[in-house]
Structure formats: C-alpha cells, structure tokens
Amino acid sequence: MKFKSILYALCYFIGAFFLLPYVFSSLTRYLHFPIFQNSALRIIGIVFVLAGIIDALYCYILFFQKGKGTPIPTQPAKKLIVEGLYRYTRNPIYLGHFLIIFGEFLLFGHSLLLLYFILFVINFHFYITLIEEKELKKRFGKEYIDYTKSVPRYMPKIK
C-alpha cells in the first residue's frame, strides 16, 4: 500500500472515530446537554463498537485479497467484491463505521454524539449515492449494475 494511502486512512480513522467524537462529546459537556448514563446501553455500545471494528477489518481483508486493492479512494479495488458480507449489502464497511459511531454514543451517552452519528450517516449517504456509485458504474459497468439490482445498498434483505 502506498504511503499516501496509509496517511489518508490514518487521518480518516483518527478524525472520524476519535477527534470528531471527542469534539462532540466536549461540546455536550460544555453546553450542558444531556448525558445518558446507563450500564445496559454502555454494554450494547461496546458490542456495537467491537462489531463495527470486526466488520470493517473483515471487509478490508476482502478488499486486499479479492478486490486486489483497498477501500481507500487513492488505491481502489480492481475487482468487484460480491462475496462475504458484500453478498448481503453493498456497503458493509460503512455499516461497520455507523456501528462504531453509534456504539460510541451508547457507550459515552453524550447527546451530541447522536447528532454526529446522524450527520455522519447523511454525509456518507450522499457520498455513496452521488459519487461512489457513479464511479463504480464507470469502473465495473454491467457487473456492478447487476449487483445493485440484487443486493441492497444498506440493510440486508431478511429471507
């Protein structure tokens, strides 16, 4: 993996999962917004964070092994990945990221972390629908279009 890609990934992870949650948590305390403290929610939050991390790591491995690339835009996958979690949802990495951030909200209970989660989901939804999917259609053509018809964007179909 190129140094530029590693640097990009580090900046993303530090910003998305540590720096911005810290800022929103600090604002919650500074503005005296509600903090929800509940042992059960904290346990669920830990489970969500761990599930999100495992999901993301699993998908990164698929990108390296099957896609012959990375999830990082500077080194995209050369092959369309349609196995593993990608059989059930087109965006399992983003779902993992959503789980991590929602898990942080449940774990720490800072109300503005919920706002951060909502903004994060909205931002990525627009990125996925307006930029990423168009790029994937260009790169993979009919194979990707067929994939979009059989696999939902986010939530897996329950059979």
Q: List the pLDDT tens digit at each of the 159 positions of the chain.
A: 677 777 888 889 999 999 999 999 999 999 999 999 899 999 999 999 999 999 999 998 998 888 888 787 777 888 999 999 999 999 999 999 999 999 999 999 999 999 999 999 999 999 999 999 999 999 999 999 999 999 999 988 876
Beta bridge partners of 35: 110
How far apart CA 10 and CA 38 sit, in angstroms, is 32
Q: Give one word for 94, left, alpha or beta, with left for phi > 0 and alpha for psi -120 to 50.
A: alpha
Give the predicted TM-score (pTM) of the model. 0.91
80 φ/ψ angles, rounded to the nearest 5 degrees: -70, 130
Q: Residue 41 in contact with residue 109, Cβ under 8 Å?
A: yes
Give the residue among 69, 56, 59 at the shortest CA–CA distance from 1. Answer: 69
DSSP, collapsed to helix, strand or coil, labels residue 35 as strand
